[in-house]
């Protein structure tokens, strides 16, 4: 079977400011652009051809993918899908994480940020960060106001199974440029991670994760391409 390369976008401007971002459409920081360029160079070293690429509706993921493709020097087609968006952080959107942790307390903060099925409070539709006001989603029938990781899983995994698995089974290689919780949710399915342990699965920015599947869809091997930032997360789950 083929290979999937999953890339969490390079550092965004709000990552740099330690803010909850979610569906807010912020761009890459200068460091994020460099991370995307390095991701492209690491992927290029694999000397693989890619048949299709996927990304979210958010420009930090789109721009990461476009930078990678520019480094590869090939014009691969790519599909944008809202289902690959970052988790919606509800009322936490835009808040500084350190300040929010002090306000909520470590236990409640951890529940909102890393629990499997506890979403933060909903973001009001009148908020400047509400996706109801975003032209990107005018055709989306149900726009979330908050999400747990479970909610994110319930849109990411069906999209993956319907739109990506068939290509991998046909021995195609796929690039997916997405987000930390998008890849975390997909990793839960692919690596069969428990509800309790999924919070341990860390996704670094700008370090491509390559996953090789066998003919039955079972994972044969997986690793991060940037050895200088090696994170042997999967084996610890």
* Residues with active-site annotation: 9, 86
Burial of 39 (0-12, 13-18, 19+ CB in 10 A): buried
Q: Sheet containing 52-55: give its strands across.
A: 78-80, 52-55, 174-178, 3-8, 209-213, 219-224
Three state DSSP letters for the chain = CCEEEEEECCCEHHHHCCECCCCCCCCECHHHHHHHHHHHHHHHCCCCCCCEEEECCCHHHHHHHHHHHHHHCCCCCEEECHHHCCCCCHHHCCCEHHHHHHHHCHHHHHHHHHCCCCCCCCCCCCCCCCHHHCHHHCCCCCCCCCCCHHHHHHHHHHHHHHHCHHHHHCCCCEEEEECHHHHHHHHHHHCCCCCCCHHHCCCCCCCCEEEEECCCCCEEEEEECCHHHCCCCHHHC
């Amino acid at each position: 079977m083929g290979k999937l390369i999953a890339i969490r976008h390079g550092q965004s401007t709000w990552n740099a400011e330690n803010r909850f971002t979610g569906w807010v459409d912020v761009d890459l920081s200068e460091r994020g652009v460099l991370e995307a360029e390095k991701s492209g160079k690491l992927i290029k070293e694999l000397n693989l051809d890619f048949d299709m690429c996927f990304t979210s509706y958010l420009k930090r993921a789109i721009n990461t993918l476009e930078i990678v493709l520019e480094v590869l020097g090939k014009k691969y087609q790519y599909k944008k899908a809202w289902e690959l968006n970052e988790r919606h952080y509800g009322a936490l959107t835009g808040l500084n994480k350190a300040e929010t942790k002090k306000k909520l307390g470590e236990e409640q903060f951890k529940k909102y940020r890393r629990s499997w099925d506890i979403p933060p409070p909903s973001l009001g539709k009148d908020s400047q960060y509400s996706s109801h006001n975003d032209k990107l989603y005018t055709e989306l029938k149900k726009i979330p106001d908050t999400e747990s990781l479970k909610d994110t899983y319930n849109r990411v995994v069906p999209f993956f199974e319907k739109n990506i698995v068939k290509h991998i089974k046909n021995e195609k290689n796929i690039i997916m440029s997405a987000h930390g919780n998008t890849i975390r949710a997909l990793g839960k399915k692919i690596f069969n991670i428990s509800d309790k342990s999924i919070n341990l699965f860390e996704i670094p920015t700008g370090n491509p994760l390559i996953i090789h599947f066998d003919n039955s869809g079972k994972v044969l091997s997986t690793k991060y391409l940037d050895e200088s930032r090696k994170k042997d997360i999967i084996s610890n789950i």
